[in-house]
Amino acid sequence: MTEPSTAEPVILAEGVSAGFDDRVLFRDVTFDVRRGEVFVILGGSGCGKSTLLKLMIGLVPPRAGRITILDTEVWATEGRARLELLRRIGVMWQQGALFGSQTLLENVEMPLAEHTGLPPAARTEVARAKLGLVGLSEAANRLPSEVSGGMLKRAGIARALALDPPILFLDEPSAGLDPITSAGLDELIRDLSRSLGTTFVVVTHELASILAIGDRCIMLDREAKGMIAQGDPRELRDHSTHPTVRAFFRREAA
Amino acid sequence: MAAPATTEGLETRQEANARVLALTGRLDTPAAAQLWPKVMAEAAGGPAVLDVAGLTALDTTGATLLLAAEGAGKDNTIRGASPQVKAVLDRVRDALAAPRPKPEPRLPILARIGMATWNLGGAMLGGVAFLGELTVTLLLSLLRPARLRFREILRHLDEAGTRAFPLTILLGFLLGVILAFQSAIPLRRFGAEIFVPNLVGISLMRELGPLMAGVILAGRTGSAYAAELGTMSVNEEVAALRIMGIDPMALLVLPRVLAGMLVMPVLSLLLTLAGLAGMAMIMGVLGFPLSTVTTQLASMVTLSDLLGGLLKAAIFGLAIAGIGCHAGLGAGRGPRAVGDAATTAVVGGIVSIILLDGIFAVAYERLGL
């Protein structure tokens, strides 16, 4: 794998603003995500980090600015080109968003059946491999309601991996998990990033997680209505002079 | 094989004592999907060497194909993997080596019948227990009426009752029109059209009014109760109530059941009246003045016909609302549970009113009503 800091950008956000009705969430956010890195979007509750994620995957339109993923501008493409782009990204939703009436294996098989010409037996084999990648081989035939929260998130990652997208978006992977399960998930993210070279964009406010997985990060702030820091999370923890950034990393009330 | 055969990304040739499958370019998901049958067919034949030196990219689906091909024949091997290709291959090899779920043991047929019977018995017992709990709650509330939640009852009366009025009137009117029209045809052959009001009046008041109102209540309200309470139990709101020492029976079920009981006679009466109006209209079309119709009606139907129908309607309301709430509170987990609860409520509600109607028919007959 190439060194993240010198790798080419796969996502470019230029002067992006977002908000609802007359409320501005953030203004003029600019950053890039480079191939193969684990990029973390962090910030306190209500700063708009989940909205930024939805903006990048094309669910919510930006008020201003441009987002380019793999040389395709997200909000300027339609029809086939957009579908093509969506096939090259995977999303793990905060609650897993698995289909409750299907087993974990069937959940992972669904995008394969929809978007590839794999023969049925091969499809099952590939879906088993994806579940194996996230350590869920034995739970393949269980329903989402029958597995724990940590397993749900792993299954969510397996489904997001179904079409082997070069970029994976994870929304709050550690939310609602105990520290041990959460650390296991961090381990998995690092492992997949290392062995498959997948680029990860992770939205989180879990401090331990940020420091464990993040190659680079940006921090959004609700008060400042924008980005207040960018860089290596360990650098930010040790050297940032911004009071909110310092408070965040030291777990102090700002 | 004599000459090397090539398809996009795959070249097959014969070396000393093995077939060589040389894969080139990107072996990603689309390529793997295309090559899967061919590669597997070639690899199954015997000793095969999968040469991956020419691969520029490999994803996990491609790796699954390579590993499946490697396992498809004895002495199959993979060679020439670059470090990146090897990393993906090793990772997927680990993933596929993990233990798989054991197939669920299938019970013998006798045991399955026994289990189904046991579950059915349990469900019936649960229904009886629910009815008992509901009765106790109702009696306790009657002793202390201040604890009845009148605002809740009013809200449910509105939702189950007033909002169902337009539908009830429409259905009742059309029912009356259809009944009058259909019964007029055979009666005309005997010159007995004058008896259409007797026929339609009796069947609406005693049977069809309560039954059709019950179908409306089951479809509109029974399913809504099941969905609402089902969502609440899936979200653990019902458990939260219990822990706070608030009886969900008194807070959630009782107002709904009372509303169902109170609203059904009204709906039934409304449906009957609308039906009679529809019948009167058809009679008018057939040339009978309104006064003839009312005289005929008054000569045939008695107050006990109407009251018997209304009593029946109240009991139907109790059954429908009770079954809806029971289905909702008993909902399992997951998004399907709520849908299942709503289905159970509607089916159970309609079946129960038809069963009850049969019981009422026998009882009224014995009592000479």
The CA distance from B83 to B64, in Å, is 17
Mean pLDDT of the B298-303 span? 88
List of E strands, chain B: 5-7, 10-15, 18-27, 48-58, 77-79
Is B60 within 8 Å of chain A by CB? yes
- Taking CA atoms, what residue in B is nearest to A166? B59
Domain membership of residue B122 (yes or no) is no
| ipTM for this model | 0.76
Tokens 């057939």 found at: B286
Give yes or no for a contact between B181 and B282, defined as CB atoms under 8 angstroms apart.
yes
The CA distance from B230 to B208, in Å, is 31
Q: Which residues contact A2 (CB under 8 A, 6 or more apart)?
A: A35, A36
- For residue range B158-214, list pLDDT tens digits in order: 999 999 999 999 999 999 999 999 999 999 999 899 999 999 999 999 999 999 999
Mean pLDDT of the A114-124 span? 85
Chain A residues with CB-CB distance to B332 below 8 A: 145
- For residue range A70-97, list pLDDT tens digits in order: 888 888 888 888 888 888 888 888 877 8
The CA distance from A219 to A227, in Å, is 6
Q: Give B155 to chain A, closest Cα distance, Å.
A: 33
Ranked by mean pLDDT, the top range of A147-151, A225-229, B110-114, B235-239 is B110-114
Tell me which residue of A84, A142, A65, A129 sits closest to B59, measured CA to CA: A129
For residues B293 and B188, membership in a common domain is answered with yes
Domain membership of residue B189 (yes or no) is yes
Is A149 within 8 Å of chain B by CB? no
For residues B149 and B69, membership in a common domain is answered with no
- For residue range B6-36, list pLDDT tens digits in order: 667 788 888 777 788 888 888 888 888 888 8
Give the CATH number of the domain where residue B35 resides.
3.30.750.24
For residues B89 and B159, membership in a common domain is answered with no
For residues B54 and B155, membership in a common domain is answered with no
Give yes or no for a contact between A202 and A40, defined as CB atoms under 8 angstroms apart.
yes
Residue B125: predicted pLDDT: 93
Is B94 within 8 Å of chain A by CB? yes
Q: How many CB atoms lie within 10 A of CB A7?
A: 16
Q: What is the pTM of this model?
A: 0.69
Q: Give B156 to chain A, closest Cα distance, Å.
A: 31
The Cα-based distances of A48 to A20, A28, A41, A44 in angstroms read 10, 13, 10, 9
For residues B153 and B69, membership in a common domain is answered with no
Chain A residues with CB-CB distance to B104 below 8 A: 141
Domain count, chain B: 2
Domain membership of residue B118 (yes or no) is no
Q: Which domain holds residue B83?
A: 5-97
- Res A3 pLDDT > 50: no
Q: Which residues contact A146 (CB under 8 A, 6 or more apart)?
A: none
| Burial group, residue A94, by CB count within 10 angstroms (0-12, 13-18, 19+) | middle
Q: Mutation test of the interface with chain A: which of B8, B27, B35, B36, choosing the one with the most A Cβ atoms within 10 A?
A: B36
Tell me which residue of B203, B322, B213 sits closest to B270, measured CA to CA: B213
- Res B95 pLDDT > 70: yes
Q: Which residues contact A138 (CB under 8 A, 6 or more apart)?
A: B98, B99, B100, B101
The domain boundary, picked from B97, B130, B154, lies at: B97
The Cα-based distances of B366 to A133, B51, B359, B360, B369 in angstroms read 72, 89, 11, 10, 8
For residues B179 and B267, membership in a common domain is answered with yes
Residue B185: predicted pLDDT: 92
The CA distance from A91 to B272, in Å, is 57
Q: Give A129 to chain B, closest Cα distance, Å.
A: 5
The domain boundary, picked from B97, B129, B149, lies at: B97
Give yes or no for a contact between A37 and A166, defined as CB atoms under 8 angstroms apart.
no
The CA distance from A152 to A170, in Å, is 13
Q: Which residues contact B119 (CB under 8 A, 6 or more apart)?
A: none
| Burial group, residue A207, by CB count within 10 angstroms (0-12, 13-18, 19+) | middle
Domain membership of residue B42 (yes or no) is yes
Residue in A122, A142, A196 closest to B36 by CB: A122
Mean pLDDT of the B213-219 span? 95
Chain A residues with CB-CB distance to B29 below 8 A: 116, 163-164
Chain B residues with CB-CB distance to A148 below 8 A: none
Domain membership of residue B109 (yes or no) is no
Q: Mutation test of the interface with chain B: which of A95, A98, A164, A193, choosing the one with the most B Cβ atoms within 10 A?
A: A164
Residue B177: predicted pLDDT: 96
- For residue range A5-46, list pLDDT tens digits in order: 567 888 888 888 888 877 888 888 899 999 889 999 988 877
For residues B85 and B145, membership in a common domain is answered with no
Sign of CA pseudo-dihedral B226, B231, B233, B238: negative
For residues B222 and B309, membership in a common domain is answered with yes
Tokens of A220: 């959004």
Is B24 within 8 Å of chain A by CB? no
The CA distance from A23 to A51, in Å, is 13
Domain membership of residue B110 (yes or no) is no
Q: How many CB atoms lie within 10 A of CB B49?
A: 19
Domain membership of residue B106 (yes or no) is no
Q: Give A29 to chain B, closest Cα distance, Å.
A: 33
Q: Mutation test of the interface with chain A: which of B64, B106, B233, choosing the one with the most A Cβ atoms within 10 A?
A: B64
For residues B214 and B337, membership in a common domain is answered with yes
The domain boundary, picked from B97, B128, B159, lies at: B97
Tokens of B302: 């008695």
- Res B229 pLDDT > 90: yes
For residues B212 and B329, membership in a common domain is answered with yes
Residue B2: predicted pLDDT: 42
Tokens of B356: 């009850």
Q: Which residue has the higher pLDDT, A248 or B164?
A: B164
Residue B217: predicted pLDDT: 95
Domain membership of residue B131 (yes or no) is no
For residues B152 and B77, membership in a common domain is answered with no
Chain B residues with CB-CB distance to A100 below 8 A: 334-336
Give yes or no for a contact between A104 and A136, defined as CB atoms under 8 angstroms apart.
yes
- Res B339 pLDDT > 80: yes
CB within 8 Å of chain B, chain A residues 180-199: 191, 194-197
| Burial group, residue B110, by CB count within 10 angstroms (0-12, 13-18, 19+) | exposed
For residues B162 and B248, membership in a common domain is answered with yes
Residue B323: predicted pLDDT: 94
